Amino acid sequence: MNNYKYMGASDSGTVGWLMQRVSGAILILVVFVHFFSMIKGGSAGMMQIITGPAAAFGVFHTFNGFKMITDDYVPSEGWRGVIYGAYWICAITLVILAVKVM
């Protein structure tokens, strides 16, 4: 029975799972507001208000999803670290590019 000892890992991904759902719900709301603001006239001020949260939650949601996929399919901790580093570099690059465009 020692092989089946509880290791306490059942809740290790709970916060990430919850944040993935929250950011997804916020993205849906932001997309609807963006869509209806574009139909109404597409004023530049509204675009800046919508683009900031859309970029922030979009980058978070995307890379949190990538992290979850990596956790599920990459068994080696070393390779996971390398992949996480690549994710961080890509995410920071995208945020910098988004800030420069706005």
Residue extents of the structural domains in the chain: 13-101
The whole-number pLDDT of residue 7 equals: 47
Which pLDDT tens digits describe the chain residue by residue (102 residues)? 455 444 444 556 778 778 888 888 888 787 777 767 666 665 666 666 777 777 778 888 888 888 888 888 888 999 999 999 999 999 888 888 877 766
Cα angle for residues 35, 41, 45 (degrees, 5° grid): 85
CATH 1.10.10 is right for the domain spanning 13-101? no
The whole-number pLDDT of residue 83 equals: 94
The whole-number pLDDT of residue 1 equals: 47
For residues 50 and 28, give the distance between their C-alpha atoms in angstroms, rounded to a whole number: 12
Question: Which two tokens mark 12?
Answer: 């290790």
